[in-house]
Amino acid sequence: MAAGDFELLLFLAEEGALFDSIRLSTARIASRLNASQQTASRKLRQLAAEELVELNSTPAGSLVRLTEQGRQALKAKFGRLQLLFDRRKKGKLVGRVKIGLGEGKYYVARKPYLVQFKSLLGFTPFFGTLNLIVDLGKLRSFLAGKQPIHIKGFSTSERSFGSIRAFKVKVEGKQQAGLIFPERTTHQENEVEVIAAVNLRKKFKLREGSRVTITG
């Protein structure tokens, strides 16, 4: 949807056409759009052709109401803007340390992963992961709008290793790290793994249940 079409759709909603039919002259629309009445009429017909509004022309003016498709178009724009304005709020994730079984060490140490971690995340990780229990809703908010880094999977003569989604983060606002989501995992959705060039548990003196802040 073009910027001008969105502006007109928003104007119609503001005038009361979000759920109800309203009578509106092309002169009023033209004034809002700073355009000619012919242009206003054409844009209104275009919205109708795209099924964003229901339009009925009468001698006294046009009867206009947004369709469900039109309302969804506004919601989609609103959602994108909300992500932008809320990004600062979503820049922090707090978790509690869970001592794992040491499985992360085996996977992180695989050379094809190490090469990609160095190239794409900017560091060679310590052989192990820091496991955190987080609020699932807050995790989704934290990741919203962030572009993942894709670590490719590979195969050896013994087995195959799945791909990994990774995000550059910092631990306690100081230590560069990576929040990783292996394609194959036994963890629950609310358990995440963090890798860094150092042993995070030792550096920050973390124990089971310790509070850890991740920033993006």
pLDDT confidence of residue 58: 78
Tokens (6 digits) for 195: 């890798």
Phi, psi of 21 (to 5 degrees): -75, 135
- pLDDT tens for each residue of 118-130: 999 999 999 999 9
| Residue pair 179/214 in contact by the 8 Å Cβ criterion | yes
Asked if residue 64 has pLDDT above 90, the reply is yes
Nearest-Å Rg of the Cα atoms of the chain is 26
Q: Reply yes or no on whether the pLDDT at 214 is more than 70.
A: yes
> Token pair for residue 189?
């959705």
The yes/no answer on whether domain 92-215 falls in CATH 2.60.40.2140 is no
**What is the mean pLDDT of the segment spanning 73-86?**
77
Where do the CATH 1.10.10.10 domains begin and end in the chain?
3-86
Span between the terminal Cα atoms of the chain, in Å: 31
Query: Which of the residue ranges 81-95, 97-111, 113-127, 143-157 would you say has the lowest mean pLDDT?
Result: 81-95
Nearest partner of 53 among 26, 27, 73, judged by Cα: 73
Q: What CATH architecture does domain 3-86 belong to? A: Orthogonal Bundle (1.10)
Average pLDDT, the chain: 89
Task: Write the single-letter amino acid at 162.
Answer: G
pLDDT in tens, 113-163: 999 999 999 999 999 999 999 999 999 989 987 889 999 999 988 889 999
Sign of the CA dihedral running 43, 49, 50, 56: positive
Percent of the chain with pLDDT over 70: 94
Determine if the pTM surpasses 0.75. Answer: no
H or E stretch at 22: strand 22-24
- Given a cut of 90, whether residue 100 has pLDDT beyond it is no
Q: Where are the alpha helices (DSSP H) in the chain?
A: 3-12, 26-33, 37-49, 68-86, 103-108, 111-116, 136-143, 200-203
DSSP symbol at 145: T
pLDDT surpassing 90 at residue 26? no
Q: How many CA atoms, within 13 angstroms, populate the side-chain half-sphere of residue 82?
A: 8
Q: Where in the chain is the domain with CATH 2.40.30.30?
A: 92-215
